Each structure stands twice: as C-alpha cells, then as structure tokens.
Amino acid sequence: MLHYASLYLPFPAFLINIVAETTLREYNNNHILMKNKLTLLGACCLGLLTACQPQPQVSEWISTTYSQPWQTLPTSNITQEVTENVIKINTSQTAQAIEGFGTCFNELGWTSLNLLDSNEREDILNEMFTPGAGANFKICRMPVAANDFSIDWYSYNETDGDFEMKNFSIENDRKTLIPFINAAKQFNPDIRIWASPWCPPTWMKYNKHYASRSTPSAARQLSDRAKSGESTYMYKVIDNELPEDRQGAEGTDMFIQDDKYMEAYALYFSKFIDAYRAENIDIFAVMPQNEFNSAQIFPSCCWTAKGLAKFVGQYLGPAMEAKGVDVMFGTMERPNVALVDTILQDKDCARYIKGVGFQWAGKDALPGVYQKYPDMKLYQTEQECGDGKNDWKGALHSWDLMKHYLNNGVSVYTYWNTSLLKGGISRWGWAQNSLVVVDDSTRTYTYTPEYYVMKHASHYVLSGARRIELDGNYKDALCFINPDKSIVLIAGNSEGTEQKVTINIEGNNYTASLPANSLNTLVINK
C-alpha cells in the first residue's frame, strides 16, 4: 500500500526563508502604510477639532473722548493685521482678584443731588448703582461724622468727658448721609460700605479743635506755592479759628494717648456701627483714621503709626471683632512703607488688620507694600480729586491713577465725590472734581469725564475678576478676566492722533484703531 506520507518531499529551506521574508516585508509595509494613514487621519481630525474650537472674538468696543463720552464703535472695523503697538494677553498670567469699584457718600454730594428733580436724581442713582446698568458701583466709602465735604463740622458726641457715650447721636446723619445711602440702596440693596473718621470728638484731641492746622499758617504756605506756579486746589481761604499755638504736626499723636480716651473712642466706633445697623445699613469694615499723617485745616487728626497700633491692638480691634466688623489700616497718605511695617509687625495690632488702604501720596508706598505683603488685601480708598474743572486733563490723570493702583495689587477702587455743585467748592474753600456736576442756577446736571473713566472699569470688570499681567510694548492698558471667562481690555491713547494697536491672544491678532485722546474698552469672548 502506498502511504501518503511517503509522497512528502522536504521543502527547500532557502525557499522557506524567501517566503517568510517576503511575508514579513509585506506585513511591515502594510503596517507602516496603515500607521501613516492613521497619523494623517489623526492630524486631520485634530485640525478639524481645532477648527471647531471657538476662537476669541471682540464682542463689544466702547470709546470715550472728551466730545463723545460713551460711543459704541463697530467691531467690524477690527482687523487681523499686526502693527508695531502690541498688547499680548496670556490668560494664565493672572494677579489679584477684584472685589469691585465704588464712590463715596458725602454730605455735599447729597445736598447737590437734592437740587434736582426727583426723577433726575433717581436716574443718576440708577445709572451708578443698579447692577449691570451703568457704573455698577458695589463697594462704597462713608465718613464717621464730618469730613472735608460735609456741610460743616460735627461729631457724634461733643460732650466733654462723656466716656460712656451717653450722648452719642447720629441725628445729623439722618438729614444727609442716611438718606443718601438709602437712596442708593433702593437700586442696589447689596452695596457694601466701609467707613473712616476724619476727626474724633474734639474733646479727645490735645488741641480741643476739629482741625490740625491753623488757617493763617496754611494760607501762607498756599500763597508761596501759588507764587511758584504749583497747584494748591484752594479756591478761597476760610478761617477755621484754630490758633497757631494749638496746631498739631505730622508725626505726632494729636489724639490723647490715655487708655480711657482710647477705650471711649472704641466705644464711639461701636455705637456708630450699632446706630447704622438700626437704620438697616451695615458697615463691613472701618479704617481708624483718614490720612493720619496729615495736619489739615479741615477735620483731621494726626496719629503716629505706633499710636494707631496701640489703639487698634488693644481697643478698636477687639471692639470691632465683637461686632463682626473688619479693621483695615489707613488711610495711608505718605510714601512710607515703614508705617505699614509698624502696624503689621505689632503682634497685638496685626491680628486684627485685614487690609491696608492707600490714597494720594500713599500711592507711592503701594508697590513696596504689595511686594512685601503679597497676601494682604489692598484698597485704593480715595482718588485724587482734581481742581473743580472736571476737564479732560483730570480724566487722563484718573486713568493714570487707575493703572498705578490696579497694577500694584488693589482689589477695590474708589472715587471720591459722587456729586458736587459746579466749581466743587468745599466748606473749607478748596475745589474738587466729582462724577456728577450740578448747576445750581439751572438745576441741571452733567456726568463728568472722570465718571466715564470709572465706568470703563466698573461696568465691565465684575466682582471676582482677576487682573491679567500684560506683555508687549504697548503699556497704556489694563486687562481682566471675569468669572464668566470674558476678557476686558481697557486701552488708552493719549496721543493727538489715531493709534493702531494689535491685541494678541491665543495666537490670534486683532487690531483696533484707537481714536485720538481716547479711552477704550474691548470685551473679548469665546
């Protein structure tokens, strides 16, 4: 029998190798081809996905000039060309969180607004305080009793030796400040308010007077400054009747440094908090003294930082903590970081300090404090307030101030006078700007250029926004990213001609021609 096995012939080895190598080569080639196809397909898909990703778009463009204070410009005019002026936005380069913007409640603000028809007054308050409507003010300042834009001097207790505050009363405020605040709260019930005194009751001071400097002394200095061409902001000199031999001086404590006076003054603050809460007005924070360095002809009181540290650490801090009210150091009006050091390095005082407030010359201490205490809450407490002319020069200065403060870490930015009569003259004779000017002869009003500067930031930069650190060679700008991820770029052009500026964000370029002498806000969405 023939077996099938006997028919088997050995297959040559070299043929086996040839077949194997050919098969393997074909497999590898097919694998590489498939791999290349998959890579190409992946790249195409990635490109398609990238193309589907929403690109940043400029959704709104508002421009302010002196003649056109709030103009909507067409975003269709924005091109993709690249110019020599570049602002680079990297949304990962964020700095401090923004709490909000606001103004101050002063007596002369309310008396000027009360010259208007009630409907006009409500229009102004709606524009300033209604969330999302106009200026969108959220955090505001008020005085503890009289300040330099009060009708006249007063405190809540002028009874000498009343350490128990039996005669404490806010009756004067029921005529002005309380109606002002309540009128604003009708449009925003959630306004947050902090307060600071300009002067304690006169009997708590060594000189027994509301002022710290005599008018004749100040008048001589102002005259000398005026002769040299320096602006003094003084319109007229009104005698405060403080004798020169009872003047105080910067770097001294004019408040009586006795424990029973400090205890009584802390009680004064507590009574103030309680009285305003009874009026349904909550004060969330206090600063112990407005411009504690400055000896002024109007209500004022000089303190040393050491004196304030004792007052806060032993008396005011515990009293406010019991009320659930924050204490902040300020307001700082000198370019001296060491003053802040004195406060924050005093252990008893530092435990109560929740932040530091800066205004006027204090702005020059801000960069050093921001660098030295990066976790400290910083407030701009009062914008430099001009000379009563309310011109474009004042608006440009306001914009420069805003850049300085916000680029150096402040979370709150506050304008000073909400409203004043035309000329802006205080009870003590100096002229200042305001957000609204009321003409008492015609009973009409106008928004000032500085109002629109404030509105560029306050309307668009929402609470919880973070400032973005900008790159590029064009420095006249501020940028923020809101909680909803919208980007707010505020860019100025101080030149007398139109300036093209390129905004670079996520590899995209957007070029806007900024009008001459303008401030612009561009909102960028994805």
Angle at 25 between CA 23 and CA 30, to 5 degrees: 95
- Distance (Å, whole) CA 270 – CA 392: 42
Residue 323's Cβ-count burial label (10 Å; 0-12, 13-18, 19+) is middle
Give the pLDDT confidence of 53-84 residue by residue, as tens digits: 678 999 999 999 999 999 999 999 999 999 99
Q: pLDDT value at position 414?
A: 98
Find, among 281, 261, 88, the residue nearest to 183 by Cα.
281
Give the pLDDT confidence of 111-132 residue by residue, as tens digits: 999 999 999 999 999 999 999 9
Residue 280: is its pLDDT beyond 90? yes
Q: pLDDT value at position 238?
A: 87
Residue 490: is its pLDDT beyond 50? yes
Residue 221: is its pLDDT beyond 90? no
Residue range 248-252: mean pLDDT, rounded: 96
* Cβ atoms 433, 526 nearer than 8 A: no
Measuring CA to CA, how many Å separate 343 from each of 264, 304, 314, 412, 450? 21, 10, 13, 21, 34
pLDDT tier, 230 (very low <50, low <70, confident <90, very high otherwise): low
Give the pLDDT confidence of 20-36 residue by residue, as tens digits: 444 445 544 554 444 44
- Provide the 8-state DSSP code for 416: E
- Distance (Å, whole) CA 129 – CA 181: 11
Q: Half-sphere exposure of residue 256, counting CA atoms within 13 Å on the CB side?
A: 20
Q: Rounded mean pLDDT of the chain?
A: 91
Q: Which residue has the tokens 């926004």?
A: 465
Residue range 213-239: mean pLDDT, rounded: 77
Q: pLDDT value at position 228?
A: 75
Instruction: Give phi and psi for 47, each to the nearest 5.
Output: -60, -40
Find, among 282, 405, 287, 293, the residue nearest to 356 by Cα.
287
3-state SS, 101-133, equals EEEECCHHHHHHHCCCCHHHHHHHHHHHHCCCC
- Distance (Å, whole) CA 412 – CA 379: 5
- Distance (Å, whole) CA 54 – CA 72: 24
pLDDT tier, 3 (very low <50, low <70, confident <90, very high otherwise): very low
Residue 41: is its pLDDT beyond 80? no
Report the percent of the chain where pLDDT is more than 70: 89
- Distance (Å, whole) CA 398 – CA 405: 11
* Cβ atoms 295, 242 nearer than 8 A: no
* Cβ atoms 188, 126 nearer than 8 A: no
Q: Which residues contact 52 (CB under 8 A, 6 or more apart)?
A: none
Q: pLDDT value at position 222?
A: 74
- For the chain, domains (ranges, CATH) are 57-94+469-525 (2.60.40.1180), 99-460 (3.20.20.80)
pLDDT tier, 52 (very low <50, low <70, confident <90, very high otherwise): low
Q: Which residue has the higher pLDDT, 238 or 391?
A: 391
Q: pLDDT value at position 237?
A: 77
Residue range 334-345: mean pLDDT, rounded: 97
Q: pLDDT value at position 200?
A: 99
Q: Provide the 3-class DSSP secondary structure of residue 320.
A: helix
Q: pLDDT value at position 231?
A: 60
- Distance (Å, whole) CA 251 – CA 239: 24
Q: Which residues contact 312 (CB under 8 A, 6 or more apart)?
A: 288, 327, 329, 343, 349, 352, 353
Strands of the sheet containing 518-525, edge to edge, are 71-72, 57-64, 518-525, 487-493, 477-481, 466-468, 94-97
Q: Which residue has the tokens 């009104």?
A: 238
Amino acid at 178: I
Q: Which of 12-26, 74-88, 326-340 has the lowest mean pLDDT?
A: 12-26
Q: pLDDT value at position 40?
A: 44
Amino acid at 356: V
